[in-house]
Structure 1
């Protein structure tokens, strides 16, 4: 999670179209499809990357899922106000610049700036502390509007670990019947995974979108994930040339990067539609 790639990327130029409310004890961004309520296919909860629920890219992604999949999409503040600051994107660019003497002279300052923004997020949102918050939200959701509706989790980077943990079979009891908290999961460029242990424990279908050049999940680890997924309900798609964060923070000015981000959206929507149809 301390890899510079976790703090790299670009801010999307769009404007979110959803609304903000309070739901199951958390502030939540809600994106609704432009379709009658009877046509909504299920609920998708986005567990975001380090930049959290207010980051414009994450909200626009929620809007896309809602419209393309006819899902009701929730993007909760699982970090409770402790997300990594968006200005970290500019700071990491400054760290990586090496074109002039000034770039090298100012590099220590920019490194310190990145650490100032990233370290508090890591400490306050380590899985042992954050996963209970995530699980509590999904439990409340499943026991209310999700009781008779398919529920999916879409996790990115930091959120990918939580999606996989939910897919280990987290459940609640509804009218005397043990019911899984999610029916399907999707994760793009997940971080913090225990490989292969976290994959071997999967009991719920999960779709993985992995970047070939992701420094958090290198090629060797991707191969281990692929082998661990053999015989399980789910899929692994590797995006050639893509790095960490490509699903959410792709550079929209770079044609191939933008295309791969769009393809990952399609992968997630199709996977949820497939498994929601079984409910």
Structure 2
């Protein structure tokens, strides 16, 4: 398996507080600010890691952005029911741990039987049209269809993790087909330990969308310092209008996947909380109306 860290970590046991709806043809988990709070500041769409819509951690992250940030948060099933099963986390722990030689072959086979279908159904060439179609519809509505803000529109942010990080960057390459301005499909991106990136091309093609790169110090996908330095050199340069194009932050002593699947007793959990706060601050700054 090319990236064990993509399928490692812990599933949380807390109960998500949102609801399921059908939105633009996809089953979607929705987290909303408390009814007593102000109207949503904007929309955040989570493009998740390999475990997708079914994974408790992804729903809890949506709840956090809604409760702490005051955002309307969508977690759509971009994988169309083909997300990685959560039991892969337990099997991966057994395979990576020392010992257990008698049962390791069983878990290796179990992982392969789950990973190969996931890879087939969720390769970028197959999943990208689904992601693009959702955001094209959302950009056309800009929140009006959900009744928030009357006739006003809501800015759109994207939080993409691991598998979702690639798609989040692809969205920054796209202009909306709606309206005379041809504005980008999204207004700001936060991506945690993205996978599948083509460097430097995926970063060089970012168009007028500020991007926060949350990178793990011990990531084998986007490596520190060679890849992080490359990205920072591209997004750290101001554009012709002297606007900030992006930020790169390296979170120390943690591995790929920390934003979503951190073990609660490890250093990764503190880094995950830090990344949650950074994401909310980033969206607060970049999604101002």
Whether these two folds match at TM > 0.5 is yes
Q: Is the 8 A contact 2:255 2:268 kept in 1?
A: no
Q: Does 1:111 align with 2:108?
A: yes
Give distance in 2, aligned partners of 1:172 and 1:14. 40
Unaligned stretches of 5+ residues in structure 1 = none
Q: Does 1:223 align with 2:220?
A: no
Give distance in 1, aligned partners of 2:10 and 2:21. 27
Q: Does 1:273 align with 2:284?
A: yes
Q: Does 1:165 align with 2:170?
A: yes
Give distance in 2, aligned partners of 1:162 and 1:88. 23
Q: Is the 8 A contact 2:142 2:155 kept in 1?
A: no
Give distance in 2, aligned partners of 1:210 and 1:5. 13
The equivalent residue for 2:147 is none
TM-score (norm 1): 0.94
Task: Map 1:134-213; keep pairs closer than 5 Å.
Answer: 134-146=131-143, 148-174=153-179, 176-203=180-207, 204-213=209-218
Q: Is the 8 A contact 1:189 1:209 kept in 2?
A: yes
After TM superposition, give the deviation of residue 193 of structure 1 in Å: 0.3
After TM superposition, give the deviation of residue 12 of structure 1 in Å: 1.1
The equivalent residue for 1:249 is 261
After TM superposition, give the deviation of residue 30 of structure 1 in Å: 0.1
Give distance in 1, aligned partners of 2:175 and 2:102. 50
Give distance in 2, aligned partners of 1:10 and 1:140. 34
The equivalent residue for 2:42 is 42
TM-score (norm 2): 0.91
Q: Is the 8 A contact 1:47 1:156 kept in 2?
A: yes
Give distance in 1, aligned partners of 2:131 and 2:257. 21
Give distance in 1, aligned partners of 2:156 and 2:177. 13
The equivalent residue for 2:148 is none
Unaligned stretches of 5+ residues in structure 2 = 145-152, 239-244
Output the aligned Cα RMSD. Answer: 1.5
Give distance in 2, aligned partners of 1:170 and 1:129. 20
Q: Does 1:14 align with 2:19?
A: no
Secondary structure (helix, strand or coil) at the match of 1:122 reads: helix
**1:40-66 CA distance string (max 9 Å, x none):** 100000000000011000000000000
2:130 pairs with 112, 128, 133, which one?
133
2:247 pairs with 214, 224, 235, which one?
235
Secondary structure (helix, strand or coil) at the match of 1:193 reads: coil
Give distance in 2, aligned partners of 1:36 and 1:42. 17
Q: Is the 8 A contact 1:35 1:70 kept in 2?
A: no
Give distance in 2, aligned partners of 1:224 and 1:199. 9
Secondary structure (helix, strand or coil) at the match of 1:173 reads: coil
**1:122-158 CA distance string (max 9 Å, x none):** 1111111111100100111111143621001100000
Q: Does 1:258 align with 2:269?
A: yes
